[in-house]
Structure 1
């Protein structure tokens, strides 16, 4: 299997962990058990860090696409991918900011959650569009 597909499959795996742990963290925030919330927070930070590292590798492998966007502008088919890139940057920055503040029920924490949901929806669409290529990668 090509390196690019290993990265893509790792991206799917770490995305699922990050998204599920983020939702679990949000749900735990509505309860009274701080320890449960803390455990979800630690799990979410770890899985999201792995996801961020995998995204960096993904961007590196697709760097020519980003150069093409800068050089030629955004094509019609590239708008969703560019939107995903922008909201992912925002959710990453807010997540890193949350490491330095008490994020439970904070305004920035709620923004991070909302933008995380948008990022998740765009990511799922991004993956579904590429399912044929991902399936073919398993056959090689």
Structure 2
């Protein structure tokens, strides 16, 4: 399980004295634990990926804001955190792979109009979670459905 891998990496980072990596891993585990406590469940790999994906998105937003404010020092901290978090995410999808998955999802859901977008996203989400920006995927689905 991904959660166990993250916990093992925390121990490794402690032993190796990697303070920055250890701090980010602790943030990851805290976010996972928070969601487990809030929802009173044990997260599976897909749910852990969703937490990681959300963390990356938050940090990318922060990088944009820090850069716009001229705070490159803070933006760099966020970039380092993104790098560590992305170590646990699967490899990003290429445009060709994403296009193929989108075609398959549209065929599987029978989508032909914008009103079918939620059906397409329901099929796509588990396949692309953590591997593509969901905002970009949503925009691509809208484009394909003719909006």
TM range (shorter): 0.3 to 0.5
Q: Does 1 or 2 have the higher relative contact order (CA < 8 Å, sep 6+)?
A: 1
Q: Which has the higher helix share?
A: 1
Task: Give the greater-gyration-radius structure (CA).
Answer: 2
TM-score by length of 1: 0.40
TM-score by length of 2: 0.39
